[in-house]
Structure 1
Amino acid sequence: MVETPAGCLFEDIQREDIQVEAAVGRGTFGVVFKAVWKGKDVAIKTIESENERNAFLVELRQLSRVNHPNIVKLYGSCDNPVCLVMEYAECGSLYNLLHSADPQAHYTASHAMSWCLQCAQGVAYLHAMKPKALIHRDLKPPNLLLVARGTVLKICDFGTACDIQTCMTNNKGSAAWMAPEVFEGSNYSEKCDVFSWGIILWEVITRKKPFDEIGGSAFCIMWAVHRGTRPPLIRDLPEPIETLMTRCWDKKPSQRPSMEQVKNTMSDLMKYFPGSDEPLSLPHQPSANRSGSSPATSTGSYADSTINSNKSDENSEHRNSIGREETLKSFDSKIPLQNIILIFIWLKIRFSITLHTLLLNILTALLSVHCFQPLAPCPNSKESMAVFEQHIRMAQDYLKVQSEIDQLLQRKGNLLLSFCSDFYCPAQSHCT
């Protein structure tokens, strides 16, 4: 047992002392399982490959430093197999409560403000840590877990967290909540967490996914944010909340408040929002299905005290798109480019595929690999969409012509073979 600088106890846990029950999701790395340890429910986080070991060590190191009521507690770790043993969040992620639950739970503006205050308290604690402060770098609702019937929020997933003194240019985080200086490759500071918090505040108040109207890939969102696009302002939102929100997502990090200032402002505002400790009536759902998210939908009014949203088929479409992306990424990582080409060369030799067909198939295979796919257009740009539509038409015409050429080449080959048989071997059905 080790005592960390934060004063919390951290154990070396034996694998045989843990009773694993079921997989409940995944984080920045590895799969998360619900389990029982010392008679209490816990979450264990495993790694699936050696490539994930670095993220595991980062999370182990950072979580072992912290001790705060709004940060998920680390009980200890196992060496064989490698895993983290952490506090279990029975209510799942804030993202699932906002967007994925079926039926959706009702919550009030008081709950929304309380969640954001608790998030600010946890992040302010991270930013104020000594001797080295921490930046989370991946602050988003899928990484915010709920306990105590949805009234208490816990920050989790520290696989991307880093020391604040480090000069950072890695693009950690998710596009919809990512500060522009992060994906622009600039050096960035703890103010990137403040930007993410401002987007989360908008999201919990509106119960909408940020930047849904942009659509397309993450690059479309990044481009829009780079050019100054932010979620639409919320009708009837009190001015102090709107001012805080818009300051947090300012383009210039220096113009954003510190997380300590955010925490203090939210604490002052909470006196106008009583009832945040009222337990939610939560539907029965998987506890921590942290599937991540892509941006989505528009804003509504703040006037109603109960926050609702209409369910739509976008949730299932979103989950399907994630599955397709993971499949493509898996295909990309498991089958090297040279192997793809060798496979088609073998097909040519084995089944006498024409060279033209071979090259066309190689091109098709390359375009199915994630890293070779062209960028999606920006739906908000008429010029971008016009070019995209033109490219679609050109691609369709090209494939049509190439298919006709391929059929004619095959017909030509058959005619030559027939001519060869008739001319050289008239008494046989084919040439020997």
Structure 2
Amino acid sequence: MESPQSFVEEINITEIEFYEVVGKGAFGVVSRGKWRDKDVAVKNIETESERKAFITELKQLSRVSHPNIVKLYGACTQHPVCLVMEYAEGGSLYNVLHGTQYQPQYTAAHAMSWALQCARGVEYLHGMSPKALIHRDLKPPNLLLIMGGTVLKICDFGTACDIQTHMTNNKGSAAWMAPEVFEGSNYSEKCDVFSWGIILWEVITRRKPFDEIGGPAFRIMWAVHQGKRPPLIKNLPKPLELLMTRSWSSNPVERPSMTEIVRIMSHLFQFFEGAEKPLSYKENHDHSDASKIF
């Protein structure tokens, strides 16, 4: 098998100027840095067990090129081991939705745009050849924002797998995870569609999915296994509600493909204006009922 290093540029660690730590991914610590006059995110591998996820992410990211997927510039494969990627100055979508520091205002157009951009990135992954890629851990912490919050990029490919692998080990995060993944059944790319449906609900309501359940992750998994889903949203246009509920159907076969989601979302998105406006960080606004954005 070809080694993953052959796909990507080998970067000399001494060329990178490191700044502050900005987060932690599925593996490793992520720092902001400068490399050849570019702002970069550098993901450092800390333990031997993280090497496996590193090799996966390196292999998968080196295959992809799409405006809604984080760009990989290269890697340091000698000690210390790290990935060098584009830096997303807007942080994660999760922090924009639920962060404690800033609470930017956003509109229904922004919510629709984020969901559509996420769907486009995943559609690209699912359409890859010779083997489709399943992300398996789609959730707002793995969706990064740039350009004032208007452009979304999917990141964290440490759990991605080739579609043929049909892995049954339990990857991902409980609130966004399709039931067939944690039930240990064989699963397909439709597990990403389930996660997308939950994300759509989350960007519209600005609430954390299944937050009311609390406790350990298995309580959410048990509820989802029994058919529990986030509550329906008041005043949500019917075509959007139907797309959302089909996406999180218990039966993967009933879920739409990402191509169908992109087609429907692109059509609906025409009716929303202002998605290109940067997010507003005004003080003292109330978004306690985010469903009012529709």
Q: After TM superposition, is the score higher than 0.5? A: yes
TM (normalized to structure 1)?
0.64
Q: CA deviation at 1:282?
A: 4.5
Distance (whole Å) between structure 2 residues aligned to residue 303 and residue 87 of structure 1: 35
Larger radius of gyration: 1
In structure 2, the residue corresponding to 1:262 is in which secondary structure?
Answer: helix
Match of 2:15 in 1: 17
Match of 1:67 in 2: 65
Distance (whole Å) between structure 1 residues aligned to residue 24 and residue 211 of structure 2: 23
2:64 counterpart letter in structure 1: V
Q: CA deviation at 1:301?
A: 6.0
Match of 1:49 in 2: 47
**Quick check: 1:144 aligned with 2:143?**
yes
Contact 2:88–2:146, Cα closer than 8 Å, also in 1:
yes
Q: CA deviation at 1:213?
A: 1.4
Q: 2:36 aligns with which of 35, 38, 46?
A: 38
1:28 counterpart letter in structure 2: A
Q: CA deviation at 1:81?
A: 1.1
Higher relative contact order (CA 8 A, sep 6+): 2
TM (normalized to structure 2)?
0.94
Match of 2:117 in 1: 118
Q: How does 1:382-393 map to 2 (within 5 A)?
A: none
In the alignment of these two chains, the number of paired residues is 283
In structure 1, the residue corresponding to 2:116 is in which secondary structure?
Answer: helix
Q: CA deviation at 1:167?
A: 2.5
Distance (whole Å) between structure 2 residues aligned to residue 167 and residue 258 of structure 1: 17
**What is the CA deviation profile of residues 118-168 of structure 1, one whole-angstrom value per residue up to 9, with x for unaligned ones?**
000000000000001100000000000000010000000000000001122
Match of 1:221 in 2: 220
Distance (whole Å) between structure 2 residues aligned to residue 212 and residue 25 of structure 1: 22
Q: CA RMSD in A?
A: 1.4
Match of 1:176 in 2: 175
**What is the CA deviation profile of residues 390-413 of structure 1, one whole-angstrom value per residue up to 9, with x for unaligned ones?**
xxxxxxxxxxxxxxxxxxxxxxxx
Match of 2:129 in 1: 130
Match of 1:390 in 2: none
Distance (whole Å) between structure 2 residues aligned to residue 217 and residue 16 of structure 1: 42
Match of 2:230 in 1: 231
Distance (whole Å) between structure 2 residues aligned to residue 266 and residue 118 of structure 1: 10
Match of 2:245 in 1: 246
Match of 2:291 in 1: 302
Q: CA deviation at 1:179?
A: 0.2
Q: Structure 2 regions of 5+ residues with no counterpart?
A: 283-287
Contact 1:149–1:282, Cα closer than 8 Å, also in 2:
no
Match of 1:267 in 2: 266
In structure 2, the residue corresponding to 1:149 is in which secondary structure?
Answer: coil
Instruction: Classify 1:134/1:275 alpha carbon distance in 2 versus 1 (closer, same or farther; 3 Å).
Output: same
2:69 counterpart letter in structure 1: I
Q: Which is helix-richer, 1 or 2? A: 1
In structure 2, the residue corresponding to 1:86 is in which secondary structure?
Answer: strand
Q: CA deviation at 1:11?
A: 1.5
Match of 1:78 in 2: 76
Match of 1:166 in 2: 165
Distance (whole Å) between structure 1 residues aligned to residue 153 and residue 245 of structure 2: 24
In structure 2, the residue corresponding to 1:77 is in which secondary structure?
Answer: strand
In structure 1, the residue corresponding to 2:223 is in which secondary structure?
Answer: helix
Poorly superposed stretches of 4+, deviation over 6 Å: none
